[in-house]
Amino acid sequence: MTKAPFVAMATVTAALGTALGSLALQLRADGNEQYVESVATFSVLMYVTAALVMVTWVRDGRPHSK
């Protein structure tokens, strides 16, 4: 399989994680503490998802044994 879909998905997912991390910092600065934990958790989830997409790409590129 080509690497373009995997790289694009991982990049977009990591960018979303970065945007959510920035939002969490802004929420904390604005005093909206009740939302910070949820947004920060979702940000970490996006980074984990991006890492798992890259692991899938690496595993898909290996030769399959029969």
What predicted TM-score, i.e. pTM, was given to this entire model? 0.83
Q: Is the pLDDT of residue 5 over 60?
A: yes
Cα 22 to Cα 61: distance, rounded to the nearest angstrom: 34
Give the count of beta carbons closer than 10 Å to the beta carbon of residue 10.
20
Per-residue model confidence as pLDDT tens digits over 12-60:
999 999 999 999 999 999 999 999 999 999 999 999 999 999 998 888 8
**32 phi/psi in degrees, rounded to 5:** -95, 65
For residue 64, the one-letter residue type is H
Whether the pLDDT of residue 61 is over 80: the answer is no
pLDDT of the residue at 55: 92
